[in-house]
Structure 1
Amino acid sequence: MSEHADDAREDDYDYVPGGRRRKGRGAKGCIAVLLALAVLAGGFYFGLTKGVGWVADQFQGPEDYPGPGTGKVEFTVNEGDLTAEIGRNLKAAGVTASVQAFLDACQDECSGIQVGDYELQKEMKAADAKEVLVDPGNLIGFPTVTIPEGLRLTEIVSTLAKNTDFPEAAWNKALESGKIGLPDYAEGNAEGYLFPATYEIKPGMKPVKVLAMMVDRWREAADAAGLEDKAAELGHTPAELMIIASLVQAEGRGSDMPKISRVIYNRLDGPGDKGGTNGTLGIDAAIAYGLGLSPGSTELTPDQLAEDTPYNTRLNAGLPPTPIEAPGDDAIAAAANPEDGDWYYYVTVDLSTGETKFYEDYDGFLEGRDEYKAYCETSDRC
C-alpha cells in the first residue's frame, strides 16, 4: 500500500480519545446539513405565511354572502325565537353564510321582528335578509278559515270544505285516518276536539295536517285549563269534562259559564235529589243534537222531547255519550273550574242580552220561566 493511500485513509477518520477513530462526514455530510437547513428555512417561511393568514382571517369579519341571492326560501320566525336562534335558522336554510354575520347586521335593530312567514332567497347578504325580516309588511299572508265556537263536527267539515280546495269527503277521510292527534279518551271521535279559532291554510297543507293543527290548539286550551288534573279533582274523566264543556258552550256565555257548569255538576253529583231533577240535566241542545236538528233553531215539540235517544237529557240521567259541539277557551275553563254555588236551575230571561238567572229549587225555576214567558210576549226573539 502506498504512503498516499495511507494518508487518504487517515483523512477519512477523526481521532477519538481511547484509540477509536470516527469516520468523517466528508462532502456528503455537508450536503445533508445544507438540505436540513433548507427544509427548516422552508418550514419557517410556510409557518410564517400561514400564521399571517390566520391572523388576517381574525380581522376580516364573519363569513357572508355577497348577495343579492337566488331562488325563493319560505322562512318562518317562530314564537319565542331570539335573534341568535333566527340567525341559526337562517344559516340552516342556506339564506345566510354564518350566524355571526346576521348578528352583526342586527345589533339593536332586530328586536321588532314579528312571528310569521317571510319570503327570502338562498345566499343573501346578511344585512339584506335582516332588512326583509324587520319590515312587517313582508309577512306572507295565507288564506284563513275561521271556525266559530259552538259548531258541530258536521258544520266544521262543511266550513272547511267551502273555504279550501278539498271536498267534504277528503275531510271525513282525514277524520277517520287516526292521524290527527286525538287523545285516547276521545275514542276516535273528533266531536268537540277541533278547536274553534282562525287558521292559516298554507300551500301544500292537506286535511290531516289542518285537522291536527286544530287538535293541537284544543290541547293548548285543555292544558291551560288544567283539564286532566281538574277532572281528577272533580271525580270525573277528561272525556266527561269535554262533554260538560260542550254543554256549557251551548247553554251560556261570558261570566255565566262557570255557574252553568256548577248547575251541571250539582245535577250530576249533588246529594240525593236535592234539586228534584233525578240526576237528569234537561239540556235541550243535547236533545236536538241527538235528533240531528239545527241547534237553537226553534223550541222542541213535545214529541221531540219525548223521543228516546242517548242524548235525551230529560229522559236519561247523566251525561250524553259525546260532546255536542266545539267548546272554546271559556267553556273548557268553566268545565274545569265551576263556580261555587247550590244552583240546580237556570233560565235565560232575556234572549237579546243573554241575561240568565240561577235558582236553587224548582219553585225558583218556575218564577224564572214565568219571567221568560212574559219577555216572549213582547219580543220576536222567542
Structure 2
Amino acid sequence: MSDPSHPSDPLLPVDGGSPAYEPGRRRRKRRSLPGCLAVLVALAIVAGGLWFGVTRGVSWIEDQFADPEDFAGPGRGKVSFEVSDGDSSAQICRNLKASGVVASVQACIDAAAADPDSPGIQVGFYPLKKEMASEEAIGVLVDPANIITNAVTIPEGYNVDQVVEVLADRTDFNASDFERVLDQPDRIGLPDYADGNPEGYLFPSTYSFGPNAKPLDMITAMVDRWRQAADDAGLEEAAERLGYTPHELMTVASLVEAEGRGEDMPKVARVIYNRVENPDNGITNGLLQVDAAVNYALGKEPIARLTTDEIDSVADSPYNTYKQPGLPPGPIEAPGDAAIEAATTPADGPWLFYVTVDLGTGETKFTDSYDEFLSFRDELDEYCATQSDRC
C-alpha cells in the first residue's frame, strides 16, 4: 500500500500546484522571427549574386562571340571627316567612332580589314554622315575621288595681285582676307632675303585646299611650295656659286618667266647675266631693257611692244629697265620650276640680245650683234603688221 503522506501520483505536482502535464495537450514552442528573416535575406543575397554572375557571364560570352555593334546605315546629316598623315586603320576607326560615324571601333576595323583598298586611304577630308554602317564608311574613304578639295590653279607668271584675285574668286574668302595675311610676312614663311615682300614667292601650281583651310593656310602652302622648288634647284647654293644673292636669282627667274619659253629660258637667263656682268660692253650700257619689268612698273598686262611715252612715264621707277641699270629690286611675278632652274643654271653663250620674232610659236632669236638684233626687230615688225591681233 502506498503512504498517503507521500503521494506518488505523477499527475499531481509535488508542491500541490497545477499539474505539470495534461494528457491530450501539446506544449507550444515560441517562434524566433528575427532568425528566420535573416535566413531569408541571406538566401535572397545568394540568389541575387548568382543571377548577377550568370547575367554577366552570359553577357561576356555574347560579347566574345556576337558581332560587334554596327549601324544599319545609310546615316544622317553631314560630317566632314579628316584623315591625317600617318593615321592607321585603327586610328581612323577610333576617330570615326568619336565623330559618331560608326557604332563601334571593332566593326569599323573589321570592315577595313575586309576591304583590300583600305591600306591606300589617302590624307584629306571626306563627306560622311552620322550613324553609317562601317562598310559604307570605309567604302567612302577608300575612293580618293571622294576627297573634299577646293582645287585652285595659280599659273606661272602671276604677280601677287593676280594671285589674290584668283584666290578670292575660287574660295569663300575676300581679297582683303588674303591681303591681311600678306601684310604679316613673318607668319607665312618667307625667307629673310625676301625682305617681307611676297612678290615672286607665291609659287605657281595647282593646290587642293581642304574645307577648313584659311587664307593663312593657303598663302603659307604657296610659300612652302616655293621653298621646295628652290631647294630642288639648289637656289641658295647657285647664288653663292654665281656671285649673286638668292633674292637676285629669284629676280632673274621672274624675268626669265616673263620673257622666255621652254628651252630658250636658260639662254634668256644668260643674256640677263651678260648684261649685268658686262655693263661697259659699249652696246647696252648696263641696261637690261626688259619690257616685262616696265610693264610691271606700269601696272599693265604684258604686251609685245612698248611705246617711248610709256617708258618715259615711269622713268624713275626702279623697275624701268630702260632707264635704271642692273637688276630691278625684286621679282616682278612668280616663276615656275623651269624659270628657277634656268636662273640657277644659265646656258653658256655671248648673247646680249634676244627677240621673239613669232609670238604665235614663241620662236626667239639670240645674238651678240647689235646689227643682227635690229634685223630681228624688223622680223617682229613684219610679223606684227600681218598679225596685229598678237602685238
Q: What TM bracket, shorter-length normalisation?
A: 0.7 to 0.9
May I ask how many residue pairs the two structures share in their alignment? 323
For residues 6-25 of structure 1, the aligned pairs below 5 Å read: none
Cα distance in 1, alignment partners of residues 68 and 348 from structure 2: 63
After TM superposition, give the deviation of residue 321 of structure 1 in Å.
0.5
After TM superposition, give the deviation of residue 109 of structure 1 in Å.
3.4
Question: 2:366 aligns to what SS in structure 1?
Answer: strand
The AA in structure 2 aligned to 1:66 is: D
After TM superposition, give the deviation of residue 244 of structure 1 in Å.
0.9
Structure-2 change in CA distance of 1:65 and 1:261 (3 Å):
farther
* TM score, norm. by length of structure 1: 0.72
After TM superposition, give the deviation of residue 198 of structure 1 in Å.
2.9
Structure-2 change in CA distance of 1:339 and 1:89 (3 Å):
farther
Structure-2 change in CA distance of 1:168 and 1:117 (3 Å):
closer
Show CA shifts across 1:103-162 (max 9, x none).
6334x43355455432346787654443222234433343x3332221221222223233
Task: Report the counterpart of residue 91 of structure 1 in structure 2.
Answer: 94
CA contact (8 A) 1:65 1:124 kept: no
Cα distance in 1, alignment partners of residues 123 and 292 from structure 2: 40
Structure-2 change in CA distance of 1:223 and 1:204 (3 Å):
same
Match of 2:356 among 341, 348, 354: 348
After TM superposition, give the deviation of residue 300 of structure 1 in Å.
2.0
Match of 2:214 among 206, 215, 221: 206
Match of 1:373 among 366, 374, 381: 381
In percent, how many aligned pairs have the same letter? 51
* TM score, norm. by length of structure 2: 0.71
Structure-2 change in CA distance of 1:285 and 1:333 (3 Å):
same
Structure-2 change in CA distance of 1:100 and 1:201 (3 Å):
closer
CA contact (8 A) 1:244 1:264 kept: yes
Task: Report the counterpart of residue 35 of structure 1 in structure 2.
Answer: none
Report the RMSD for the aligned CA atoms in angstroms. 3.4
Show CA shifts across 1:306-330 (max 9, x none).
3231111122221101111111222
Q: Does 2:113 match 1:104?
A: yes
Task: Report the counterpart of residue 44 of structure 1 in structure 2.
Answer: none
CA contact (8 A) 2:358 2:380 kept: yes
Cα distance in 2, alignment partners of residues 371 and 180 from structure 1: 46
Q: Does 2:171 match 1:168?
A: no
Task: Report the counterpart of residue 58 of structure 2 in structure 1.
Answer: none
Cα distance in 2, alignment partners of residues 190 and 90 from structure 1: 41
CA contact (8 A) 1:275 1:361 kept: no
After TM superposition, give the deviation of residue 167 of structure 1 in Å.
2.8
Structure-2 change in CA distance of 1:161 and 1:129 (3 Å):
closer
After TM superposition, give the deviation of residue 245 of structure 1 in Å.
1.1
The AA in structure 1 aligned to 2:164 is: V
Show CA shifts across 1:219-250 (max 9, x none).
22222222222222222111111111110111
Task: Report the counterpart of residue 319 of structure 2 in structure 1.
Answer: 311
Question: 1:314 aligns to what SS in structure 2?
Answer: coil
Larger Rg: 2
Task: Report the counterpart of residue 263 of structure 1 in structure 2.
Answer: 271
Which piece of structure 1 moves more, 315-324 or 371-380?
A: 371-380
Cα distance in 2, alignment partners of residues 233 and 280 from structure 1: 23
For residues 1-382 of structure 1, the aligned pairs below 5 Å read: 66-67=70-71, 73-77=79-83, 85-92=88-95, 94=98, 97=105, 101=110, 104-106=113-115, 108-110=116-118, 113-114=121-122, 116-120=124-128, 127-142=135-150, 144-178=151-185, 179-270=187-278, 273-274=280-281, 276-292=283-299, 294-297=300-303, 299-306=305-312, 307-380=315-388, 381-382=390-391
Question: 2:365 aligns to what SS in structure 1?
Answer: strand
Which piece of structure 1 moves more, 343-352 or 298-307?
A: 298-307
The AA in structure 2 aligned to 1:88 is: Q
